[in-house]
Amino acid sequence: MWTISKNKSWPELEKQFDWVRAMEEVPQDEIYHAEGNVAIHTQMVLAALENEAGYQQLGDQEKEILWASALLHDVEKYSTTVIEADGSISSKGHARKGAMTARQLLYRTLSTPFNIREQIVALVRYHGLPIWLFEKPDPLKALIMASMEVNTEWLALLARADMLGRICKDQEAMLYRIDCFEEFCREQGCWGTARSFVSDEARMYYLQKENAYPDYVPFDEPLAEVVLMSGLPGAGKDTFIKKNFPEMEVISLDAIRQEWGIKPTDKAGNGRVIQEAKERARILLRKQKAFVWNATNTTSQMRMQLIDLFSTYKARVRIVYIETPYDNLYRQNSGREAVVPGQVLEKLINKLEIPAAWEAHSVSYHYS
């Protein structure tokens, strides 16, 4: 069983992890956290979680996932906490940034298995959603998308522990919000599972269109399939393509760079490479011909720009994410024809966003 620490006493965690010690230095607003700093709050959250009946009914590995998520849920309050002009204390964006930090820590340092790591990351990312869901512009769509990334039943357990692990005047009202979140999940078929759709096309239509109805069934069929590769340099994308898509045409950014003699670190040159790749893609899309787009595509923004392009031509998009352990990544990168400098590789890891299941018609994950 994977575990973040065999000895979970707070003093031992402080010895093991610098970021645990750093929590003691982060103040919190007394209105919402009269208990004190982030370290005190986190310890209270862990205790509250262990007292939850739903937590006690989980298996050992599932308990470890939730425990690690509770430990990490405010890890980036250290970098996001500011004292506002009126004297109040805020930490805007700490959940999103904390999720990125959790992924890097679990990937680089703790060699956490992919599925376990990404559940922890998602729980950290969305730990405030049960409280704030109904303030979203489209609560149903926000819930459906989240349900495709995180176990909402576990998320409610974490949110409840987060609320019980603090001293504040609005605790009862916030716990009621979590109860409402649970009921909404149950009503929408999202409780502990991803919301189902009649087809991949129906799901994509709902997610891409404003004011769409989740049970609407579109009549248009995709005209071609595009396989969008995603993964860090050295992860094994080229090998995967040769093995699984030997007959499909491949648009490779690395191949165009080599063809034009452009280095990966040449920003202006890379801009020309991407434009050339997109033009080659348009030609194939007009012909309704399937192809593979081979590049790192390690951020959501990169992928969504391409998916928007492919969707314009009514293509079915399949994302294939490839991952290998951190140490193996460096070994495989060093064996590539176009080796990516270590500094560049580390920057890519820092910004890595794993493709979410809602991004495309289908998303598959392949890891060793």
Share above pLDDT 70 across residues of the chain, in percent, rounded to a whole number: 100
Amino acid at 114: F
**What's the Cα-to-Cα distance from 110 to each of 8, 16, 25, 39, 364, rounded to whole Å?**
15, 12, 24, 21, 24
Model confidence at 265, in pLDDT bands (50, 70, 90)?
A: confident
Average pLDDT over residues 223-251: 96
What are 210's two structure tokens?
């404003």
Residue with tokens 């899309």: 285
Name the pairing type of β-strands 82-83 and 315-323. Answer: unpaired
Average pLDDT over residues 291-301: 97
Domains of the chain: 10-187 (1.10.3210), 224-367 (3.40.50.300)
pTM, entire model: 0.95
Model confidence at 368, in pLDDT bands (50, 70, 90)?
A: confident
Model confidence at 270, in pLDDT bands (50, 70, 90)?
A: confident
Predicted local distance difference test score (pLDDT) of residue 145: 98
CA angle 291, 292, 295 (to 5 degrees): 150
Average pLDDT over residues 269-275: 90
Interval 76-110: pLDDT, tens = 999 999 999 999 999 999 999 999 999 999 999 99
Share above pLDDT 90 across residues of the chain, in percent, rounded to a whole number: 89
DSSP codes joined into one string, 52-86? -HHHHTS-HHHHHHHHHHHHHTTTTHHHH-EE-TT
